[in-house]
Amino acid sequence: MLQVSALSSDPQAAIEIAAQHAPYLSSLVKRTTQADAPESLLQEAHALCDAVILGETDPKSALRQAKLRAHLAITAMDVSGHSSVPETTEMITRFADAATTAALCAARRDLDAEGAGLFIVALGKMGAFELNYSSDIDIAAFYDPDLFQAGPRGLDDTAVRIIRRMIGYLSDRTPDGYVFRTDLRLRPDPSSTPLAVSTRRAALYYESVGQNWERMVWIKGRIAAGDHAAGERFVSALDPFIWRRHLDYWAIADVHAIKNMINSKVGEISLSDPAADLKLGPGGIREIEFFVQTQQIIFGGRHPDLRVRGTLEGLQRLVALGTVTSETARELSEAYLALRAVEHRIQMIDDEQTHTLPDFDAKREHVAALCGYNDLQQFDADIAATRRCVNAHFHALFADEARRHAKAVEGNLVFTGVDDDPATIETLRHLGFKAPSETIERVRHWHRGRTPATRTTRGRELLTAILPDLLAAMGRTGEADEAFRRFSRFFEGLRSGVQVLAMLVANTDLMEDLVTTLALAPRIADILARRPGLLEALVSTGDRKPEPTLTPGMDFETLMNTVRHWHGERAFLTGHQLLHGQIHAVDAAADWSALADTSVELMAAAAEAETQRRFGPAPGQWLVVGLGKLGGREMTAGSDLDILVIYEPAPGAENVQAWFTRFTQRLIAGLSAETAEGFLYEVDMRLRPSGRAGPVATSIKAFESYHGRDAWTWEHMALTRLRSISGSSELAARVTAIAEQAIQVGDAGTRTDDILEMRKRLFRDKPAAGDWDLKMRAGGLIDIEFITQHAILTAQIAQSLCPELRAAHQQLRDSGVWTADEYDVIAQAFSLLQSLQQVQRVAHAGAMVEADLSIALKDRLCRATGCDGFDALSERLKQTCQDVSAVFCKKIGNPATETRGSSV
């Protein structure tokens, strides 16, 4: 084990020896002319602070001269063995208190401000009288608004001005150096609070979103300067936050997780590294501090004896309680003292806030010499042995808990505090994160309760428990930053996080599934954020819930919510199965379409019942027909519903149009209105006769008349995809016959000209967003539809209505309208483009460009189409669309020219 010995029993001789190895100490000796005893120099340092308090000298100059004397005196006593490590750290801390008090007094005097109610809390090592040689001082400034006198500037502004001036006196570099670097980031919510925080605001913060790591910080909190009485009242009021008498399972698990975030797995090389970080690295000082503090947090609420600030004192109190053996306490105490002594000597060399031994042997030899070693190899070996001892005890702490929750990540994952932990940055980089600091800051944002999911203590504790597995899963997607961004989008959209996080903690397979799904599909992230309960569908025993039963007497809004809840689960499961390759694109289209059919049937029945309840029995028969993707059974995730409502009046019926208009309006509301359970579909009825200007419900007589005499070519194109969905079967047969008659009557040349002109307008007015705009790109799905509809409308033979494109393609081949080669081109192209669009629409809403395609989504698109890689897929897509465009030009014409192609 490491043993640090005195360089000489004579302080003057010891400091001269030390100065040979430490440039900073050498400069101190040269700049301090007096050869006073260390005790006298330290008294002079405190006297200079007192002079600043009394306003008798320039604050900046006096405090820096005081620092030189204090450092020289404390170093001389340390390296000569006249002071122990605890005595050394206490002397440094007492001087820090004196300097902070002096700087605060000078700042108040500069601004002519009273001191009542304003105070400085020492946290971290300063709070525990454990400052190291070149420590930053962790402080937080508060004011009691009932006591603090602000004057005309207001409380916040005046307090902040004082603290900023105080910081300048301590931290500004002058020719005489600086006194202490100050860090105020341990105050409540430092990114959104001023440098000086109202005690009311601070109390509210700790009561509502204070975290366990902040409780650990406040174990060491004490008043260092300012109004001590006001400060003591504030610190005492925080006792219920710091020392919780009863901790539930999740609070304890959160403390365990804080401990386990540090060096979950440490290799032999890391522990033997001679250039070790003695504070943050494995087997370092922080592991000893956490060993003590985690147990203080867990047991201190019931055992007041544990409520002490010092690390070594806390360790002995744990022995007295019986939670730590005397042998463990002895080994950790010896290691702590030795590592702190070496830490001081590292900092003596250049007065830098570093805890890492030098890489180069020649530099590390100076540290070894300051520790009393003349053999670097022995020094390195003793350091390594000490670190192994500490690390073994650290990992034995909560060992059973650690085994139950084995961590998925090797390395540090520390999101507590305010600084980015260097080892955590390296761990995240190893997982594949390219912007680890942004990830760390986002997680801190969540831990501070700035998103609804973590506004409760339970939510924050569950987040801590799941983070290692969550980040590891993101790394496995191949795009960790993007996976994290999409999870953030989902997570920050949750109204409450406890239920979802508890599910993920209990079921890591579900967590892995969620991360993968979100990496593939940001659209699903939005859906799940609005309806997190859909996750339960993935762990339910059955794949499919039966369609809901609409009981008589159920009110219309309840009916809408019932159908929406069922629809949401079914739609989510279909999308999930498609994304993960559990069903093919053609099966997904059939599922989406069947889901839409059932939704229309259910809501049409509900709309009929509601209209009958309010306006009497239906005055005739009605029919809902589908067009477009609904008619063709080619629905995708997020497809609109193109529908028509057609009716036939009963003989002698009155108010027929009014009744069926009300029925249709209720049907549209039932399908598209937003409720607590969301909505089902956007409904498009523009394909009805006369478009938006016509009535929402059309009589069969008007339907037949319009399509027999007045319809445009594009309306007859739409009829090729007509399919009856719900309503009278007799009416359905008549409507089908009317459609078949309408599409077979017309001039082939005129229809060809019309279709070509329509495509030209689309090229001009709605150009494709890029190669991955599968619908609108040249040779894409719109061209396949146009080619198919053109063939149907210009064929000179009788045909039955085939709304599904695959069936229509086969009919055109079998009837001789298309050649076998033409059929192969169109059928294969449709199969490829539908497979791509089905996956694409689950992942993203609307058209996409290649930049929208993540690595995971590219891989899924390749698997959906049987391509070996994305380059091969892109080339196949390009060639396929060129082949379709060639057929288009041959059959209809070139959309970029006026040349008509040959008619069929």
Sign of the dihedral defined by the CA atoms of residues 373, 378, 381, 382, in that order: negative
β-pairing verdict for 118-122 and 222-226:
antiparallel
Determine the Cα angle at 526 with ends 523 and 532, to 5°.
125
Q: 3-class SS at 541?
A: coil
Distances (CA, A) of 891 to 206, 509, 675, 884, 888: 73, 52, 47, 11, 5
What pLDDT shows up at residue 195? 95
What pLDDT shows up at residue 539? 66
CA-to-CA distance for 218 and 170, rounded, in angstroms? 23
Residue whose pair of structure tokens reads 């069969």 in the numeric block: 700
Phi, psi of 122 (to 5 degrees): -85, 130
E strand or H helix at 559, and its extent? helix 556-579
Residues whose CB falls within 8 Å of the CB of residue 788, separated by 6 or more in sequence, listed in order: 720, 805, 808, 809, 812, 826
Q: What tens digit of pLDDT does each residue of 615-655 get?
A: 999 999 999 999 999 999 999 998 999 999 999 999 999 99
Instruction: Report the candidate in 483, 495, 507, 467 with the shortest Cα–Cα distance to residue 432.
Output: 483
CA-to-CA distance for 887 and 542, rounded, in angstroms? 46
Residues whose CB falls within 8 Å of the CB of residue 886, separated by 6 or more in sequence, listed in order: 825
DSSP letter for each residue of 683-750: EE-TTSTTGGGS-SEEEHHHHHHIIIII--HHHHHHHTT-EEEEE-HHHHHHHHHHHHHHHTSS-HHH
Cβ contact 793:716 at 8 Å: yes
The 10 Å CB-count burial string (b at 16+, else e) for 683-718 is bebebbbeeeeeebbbbbebbbebbeeebebebbbb
What pLDDT shows up at residue 246? 72
DSSP letter for each residue of 769-829: SSTT-TTTSTTSHHHHHHHHHHHHHH-SS------SHHHHHHHHHHTTSS-HHHHHHHHHH
Q: Which two tokens stand for residue 730?
A: 């007799």
What pLDDT shows up at residue 755? 96
Phi, psi of 227 (to 5 degrees): -75, 95
What pLDDT shows up at residue 254? 67
CA-to-CA distance for 794 and 360, rounded, in angstroms? 85
Q: What tens digit of pLDDT does each residue of 145-200 get?
A: 999 987 777 899 999 999 999 999 999 999 989 999 999 999 998 888 999 999 99
Cβ contact 283:290 at 8 Å: no
What pLDDT shows up at residue 599? 96
Cβ contact 251:457 at 8 Å: yes
Query: Three-state SS string across 391-438, please?
Result: HHHHHHCCHHHHHHCCCCCCCCCCCCCCCCCHHHHHHHHHHCCCCHHH
Instruction: Report the candidate in 477, 476, 474, 448 with the shortest Cα–Cα distance to residue 463.
Output: 448
CA-to-CA distance for 370 and 20, rounded, in angstroms? 9
E strand or H helix at 222, and its extent? strand 222-226
Cβ contact 333:298 at 8 Å: no
Enumerate the β-bridge partners of residue 177. Answer: 174
Q: Which two tokens stand for residue 536?
A: 């339960």
CA-to-CA distance for 83 and 80, rounded, in angstroms? 8
What pLDDT shows up at residue 900? 42
Q: How many residues does the chain have?
A: 904
Cβ contact 339:321 at 8 Å: no
Q: 3-class SS at 647?
A: strand
CA-to-CA distance for 582 and 399, rounded, in angstroms? 40
Cβ atoms within 10 A of the Cβ of 655, count? Answer: 13
What pLDDT shows up at residue 677? 86
Cβ contact 731:621 at 8 Å: yes
Task: Give me the amino acid identity at 95.
Answer: F
Distances (CA, A) of 89 to 71, 75, 86, 99, 857: 11, 11, 5, 15, 56
Cβ contact 586:635 at 8 Å: no
pLDDT less than 50: residues of the chain: 264-265, 402-406, 541-542, 898-904
